[in-house]
Structures are given as C-alpha cells and as structure tokens.
Amino acid sequence: MTPADLAAAVLAAVQDCVQAGEFGVALPDDVAIERPKNPEHGDYATNVALRLAKGAGKAPREIAEAIAAHLRDAEGIARVDVAGPGFLNVTLAAASLGALARDIVEAGERYGRSDHLAGTRINLEFVSANPTGPVTLASTRWAAVGDALARILEATGASVSREYYFNDAGNQIDRFARSLLARAHGEPTPEDGYPGSYVDDIAARVVAASPGVLELPRDEAQEVFRRQGVELMFGEVKDALARFGVEFDTYFLESSLHESGAVDAAVETLKQSGRLFYEDNAWWLRSTEFGDDKDRVVIKSDGNTAYIAGDLAYFRNKRERGFDLLIYILGADHHGYVARLKAGAAAFEDDPDTVEVLIGQMVNLVKDGKPVRMGKRAGNIITIDDLVDAVGVDAGRYSLARSAIDTSLDVDLDLLTKRSNENPVFYVQYAHARTCNVARNAESFGIGLDVFEPDLLTNPSDAALLTALGEYPRIVDAAASLRAPHRIAHYLESLAGTYHRWYDTDECRVTPKGDAPVTSANRTRAWLNDAARTVLSNGLGLLGVAAPERM
RNA sequence: GCGCCCGUAGCUCAACGGAUAGAGCACUUGACUACGGAUCAAGAGGUUGCAGGUUCGAGUCCUGCCGGGCGCACCA
C-alpha cells in the first residue's frame, strides 16, 4: 500500500462517516499523509481529523475516533490509533507495506515520475550571464539549480526547454571589446572595462586568429575583437557548463530580436493596442499597474529602443514558440524586473501568471571567516572551473543545489578546497554504492529477484525503509510545484541515513551471516535493497549527480 | 526613504500551519574475525533575532522593531 493508496482509504473512511451521519462535512480535496518522525506513531499519520473538525463542529479527537473505526476495516491496515490532538496514526500490515518494494523495483526509473504536468510546455531560462568573462560561482549556482529544476519538472510530465538569454545588444559587450583591444595593444584596462587575466588570453587568441587586426583602424579592430572575442568567450562558457553537465536547448541572442524586426513589431503592436503612452518625447509602458514602482521607457526620446523593448519582444517570441509557462531564474540583483516582466505579459493581453520569476539570493564567498567580495569587474572571480577542479562536478552541483534559492549561500573557500569529504553528497552516493555492493554479494549467494514474501518484512528497520521509499513520489511533486530542487537533496540525505541503518541491522541482511542458509526473508530483502537503489539512483538523477556503483 | 529576500545547534543548511524544531560537519564515548567503517550506536549542543497578534496548534501566517543582503535610470 502506497501513501496515495492510504490517502484514498482515509478519504473513503471519511465518506463512510458522513454517510453514516456521524458528522457532516464536505469531503476534503486531498488527504495529507505524512511519515511520523517518531516510529511509535505508526508507519503513516494524517491530520485529516484536525482539518475537518472546524467544518464538522466537533472535537478533533471525536472526528478522529469516528474515522479510525471505519479505517480499521480497510484492507492492509494493521492498526489505527488516535493520538495527541487528533492525529490518526496508521500501522500497515507487513505484507501491505512490503509490497511497495516490488512495486518500486518493477517501476524502476519510472518510480517517482508522474504525468501531473503532462502537456505543459515550460521554457526555463537560467544562467543567462553575458559572456564577458568565465561563469562565476553565482551563475554556477543557477546552473545547478536550474538544471535540477528542469529535470524535476520533466519528471512530473512537463516538457521543458532550457534557455540561455544572451544580452548581446548592450554596452557590456562593447566594454568587453574595448578591454580586449586595449590589452592586445598592451594598454591598461579601460576605466569601465574587464580586468581579469582571461581578457589577455582571449585577446591573444583573437590576434592569433586575425594576425593583421592590430594594424586596422581602431574602430574596425574593436569590431573584430567584439565579434571574435565574444564568440571565443561564449564558447568557453558553453564548454564549462557542458563539463558541469548542463546543456541548454536554446542559446538566444537578444540581437536576433532586433535583426528580425521582432522588437519593432512588438512595439508597434503595443502602440496599436494603446498599451504604450507618449510623454516627454518617449514611449512608456505603464508597468505601475502591475506593482512596478515606476513606469518604464520603451522607446527613448532619441528614438532608440530601451532594454525593456527587447524583453517585451522576447516574451512574445517565447509565447509564439508555444510555451505555456515561462520560468525565469534570476539573481537577487534583478528582482526589480519581476513587475515589468509581468507587465509585459499583460500588455500583450496575456495572463501575467504565464511569467514566473524565481529570485535567487546571492552566493557569498567566505575566507577565514570573512566575506570576500567577488565580481567580474573586480577581477577576482571564482569560476565554475575552479569549483569543478576543487571538488568535482557531483559535489559542486550537489552543494549548490541543496539549499533553498531564497537563502543566500555562504561558500567557504578553504572548506571547498581542502575538505571536500564533508559534502553530504558522498553520504548519499555511498548509500547507493552500498546497495549495488549488496546486490553483487546477493548474486554470489544465488539470491536473485525471484522469491518475494512481503509479510516477512517485519523488522522496524524494514518498515522505516519502506515508508521512506514510499515518500519519494510526493517529494518529487513537492519539489516540482514549489520549484524547490533542494527538497530532493534533503530527502536523499534522510533516505541514505535510513538505508545505512537498515543495512546495519543484523536482522535485515540480504546475504546470510556466516554459513547460515539463505532464507525467503533474505531473498525478499534483496527486493527491498533494490528498491532503495532505485530511489537513490532516481533522486540523484534529478539533481544531475552520478549514482556510482562503487566508490 | 521605499521595495524584495534572509535571520534556526559552534559551522553549512532542513522542516505542505502539526506531535519532543531535524540532518551533515566539528566535539565526546563506543562498535573494525565489516553483506566495503566514505558506516553505525550513544552523548553533548536551541528561549528558531526581539515584542505583540491570529487559532485547537506558529520556526512557518499578520503587525512593529533590530540585524544582514539586494534593488530603486530615457544603463544594459
């Protein structure tokens, strides 16, 4: 019996109560089944009686007793207790709970996946850093989180397109080109330029590829550096992200929106529909209607488009490409954009809720207990490659994806470089490697996945592991709907602990100790071991972290 | 000044409004003739920044403070 099955059984019991006239209440939409922290509280618990009490006009415990009386008759339920203020604590029959092990093994990679978001086409935009330098640690956080979120949304049935927006029409790129040119000439970095040593490398590569470039007139040379330098830098960004295991479906260039006429068309549409107003020689979008603190200029008084014009055209472009939901992961320094992005949607008579902006807080570098300022312009950045070199892809992705995005994250440089074993990812990966090792040992004992007698899974450690495994689908759902990949990581850490404890329980061995004979219980536990392997592997997969068979 | 986010164990972080606030690391003690100890068991560590409020119940929701981060352009 899965938690979902139990929820259905509880709902049926509530219905029975209502039909029997024991209390009157509208049937709840769903019943929350949770796994109690305290094993004395049964395998599963529900607060449904507490929820219904107010509507029924009766004491929660009274409601709970009534539901319990009906629930006790349900198939596969060993006992139901009413506890505390009115919780229902449910203990399943061993066979009923144990059957889950086979279900999971048979579902394999499909276990935890659902079709809740089937048919939804999601455009997930993340990282989107301008290639004026290597990928910073902050951007790397969004790479890890964004890619994990994409995997999680896909696991709930959505079609997800990973998108990287390159704002190549702006002056950051000009500053980058000027920096390249200056360094190629051996001049100091311009006042507003980029000082990192990578600028010298890129400049040298441009010169190598175009030997005569330094003899060209200054403005022509700068154009060569702009074009080739950006291409080289962007290539490095893509390569570094690919090494990190993050591949984008679309790298979208802002300039393409200008060249295709999409920006002009979008502005024209908005003028026609009266969504822009003219004032002080400029055209404005009334974004204040959507919570923005001021209206935004779309066409500047000099006739040029403002940055937001590109965003408006980009929104429309994404919708025209057929996406139902546009999710943006932006850093906290961009939170002022939320209102104007939504205003843009509304201006096109579209639903502002098609735009969903996730604001991620900053990554702070800490060294010797003190914060270290980091920035491309300051030239002291920690890059995605630095991270990978220090701890590897798995530990890097895991540590950046394991915290909620709305908390700022402190990364200690010394901890990162010296003591990588402190990363909980190894605890989880080791649990997975252990399941594989147990399976290998079982095979050498001639224990395969044949005999399955779930009523033999009577040890409390069996129940603890089974209920933990049963939670997984709801964890995936929650991670998807809350856009919270870190929940997967924390679940896995908890599951790994439960597995390690099960492994260390002598009564729960898969292979017999010493020369004891192989029993049906041993054989049945091979299924449970494999179920744990399946969930650990599936969960790590959602984070883009390897599930090694050996460590 | 206005707006958004955060404040939880020594550190890094969890906790659909639910029961005794949890993990990892670090610390103390124990288990290596081990289904590989990258593990397990036990211990210690907390007034969840402060003060009110909402209700059967608040780390979680509301209000006000305190502290920190990030924004408040006809820049992109």
- Single-letter amino acid, residue A403: S
The angle subtended at Cα A417 by Cα A389 and Cα A241, nearest 5°, is 30
Q: Phi and psi of A363, rounded to 5°? A: -105, 120
pLDDT (0 to 100) of residue A370: 67
A268, pLDDT greater than 90: yes
Residue nearest B21 (alpha carbon to C1'): A37
Give Cα separations from A271 to A275, A276, A310, A340 (angstroms). 6, 5, 15, 17
Range A302-329 average pLDDT? 94
Our measurement of CA A83 to C1' B67, in angstroms, reads: 41
Q: What percent of chain A has pLDDT over 70?
A: 96
CA distance A144 to A157: 20
pLDDT (0 to 100) of residue A418: 61
| Tally of CB atoms within 10 A around A192 | 12
What confidence category does residue A288 fall into, taking pLDDT thresholds of 50, 70 and 90? Answer: confident
Residue nearest B3 (alpha carbon to C1'): A293
- Single-letter amino acid, residue A33: I
Our measurement of CA A421 to C1' B29, in angstroms, reads: 23
Q: Answer yes or no: is the ipTM higher than 0.85.
A: yes
What confidence category does residue A519 fall into, taking pLDDT thresholds of 50, 70 and 90? Answer: very high
Q: Which nucleotide is nearest to A507 (CA to C1')?
A: B35
Summarize pLDDT for A295-304 with one digit per residue, the tens: 999 999 999 9
Pair A124, A324: CB distance under 8 Å: no
Our measurement of CA A515 to C1' B33, in angstroms, reads: 14
Residue nearest B33 (alpha carbon to C1'): A514
Which nucleotides of strand B are protein-proximal, with an atom < 7 A from a CB?
2-7, 11-16, 18-26, 35-41, 56-57, 68-76
Our measurement of CA A517 to C1' B14, in angstroms, reads: 43
Summarize pLDDT for A31-87 with one digit per residue, the tens: 888 888 888 888 999 999 988 888 888 888 889 999 999 999 999 999 999 988 889
Q: Tell me which long-range contacts A20-29 makes (C-beta under 8 A, separation of at least 24).
A: A22/A66, A23/A52, A23/A56, A23/A57, A23/A58, A23/A62, A23/A63, A23/A66, A24/A56, A25/A52, A25/A55, A25/A56, A26/A55, A28/A52
Q: Which nucleotide is nearest to A81 (CA to C1')?
A: B19
Q: Which nucleotide is nearest to A430 (CA to C1')?
A: B38
Our measurement of CA A366 to C1' B27, in angstroms, reads: 23
A213, pLDDT greater than 70: yes
Percentages of chain A per state (helix, strand, coil), in multiples of 5: 55, 15, 30
Our measurement of CA A408 to C1' B4, in angstroms, reads: 13
Our measurement of CA A11 to C1' B3, in angstroms, reads: 44
